[in-house]
Homo-oligomer: A and B are copies of this chain.
Amino acid sequence: MSNFPPSLRQIAFFLERLPGIGEKTANRLAFFFLHLPERDLKEFASYVSQLKTKIKLCHICLNVTEKDVCDICSDPKRDKHIITVVEEVLDLISFETGDIYQGVYHVLHGKIDPLNHIAPEDIHIDDLLDRVEKEKKSVREIILATNPDMEGEATAMFIRNKLKELKKNLKLTFSITRLGYGLPIGANLEYADYMTLRKAIENRNKY
């Protein structure tokens, strides 16, 4: 990369910081920039430089938005009684790509991860509890949709306990659920790991 002209080198350096992009790919991508129309590059550059000033977190669910309240929370067709708790905005996006869920969300922006020094107070769990306390009887169900890995399970468990306390103290009646786990659609039993198979057996259904 030392043979790149400075401006190309700087672009490659920046791209190399992105996740999953190594030096070779960064070089290749930086070069590809040269083949794009100048107008598109300038437009992209203006979006990048304004990104941080434009993007805020939704006051209600902490999704990213350019307004005070995100499109999902301000959509009158969404069911405000069901809140799905996800780790990251990208998890929310996964639910939203299919037309599979009509409720609203709460984004934690992280998961409890003691090995990386991320404690419960470092992610937005308190905001969730405040929200439930404020919305009170209007909340009917909270779906815990953290990832099915060690940190995700610990986070779900921690939130469940906090919510149960809140339910008891405020005499609320919402239910707490966790996403169903088992074999993914199209999976091959031969390649399934035993943790997934155990979940698939535990969660078996009458047929």
Q: How far is the CB of A43 from chain B (nearest CB, A)?
A: 7
Tell whether A55 pairs with B17 under 8 Å between CB atoms, given A31-B89, A93-B3: no
User: Would A34 and B10 count as touching, CB distance under 8 A?
Assistant: no
Tell whether A11 pairs with B64 under 8 Å between CB atoms, given A54-B5, A93-B27: no
CA distance A27 to B93 in the complex (A): 9
Q: Quick one: copies of this chain in the complex?
A: 2
Q: How far is the CB of A16 from chain B (nearest CB, A)?
A: 12
Which residue of B has the minimal Cβ distance to A31? B90
26 cross-chain CB contacts under 8 A: A1-B93, A2-B96, A3-B71, A3-B92, A4-B64, A4-B93, A5-B55, A5-B66, A6-B66, A7-B47, A7-B50, A7-B51, A7-B54, A8-B55, A10-B43, A10-B44, A10-B47, A11-B51, A14-B40, A18-B32, A20-B25, A20-B28, A21-B29, A31-B88, A34-B64, A41-B48
- Given A7-B54, A38-B53, 20 new contacts (CB under 8 A): A3-B72, A3-B93, A4-B64, A5-B54, A8-B51, A8-B64, A11-B47, A11-B51, A17-B36, A18-B32, A19-B28, A19-B29, A19-B32, A20-B28, A27-B90, A33-B48, A41-B52, A45-B48, A45-B49, A46-B49
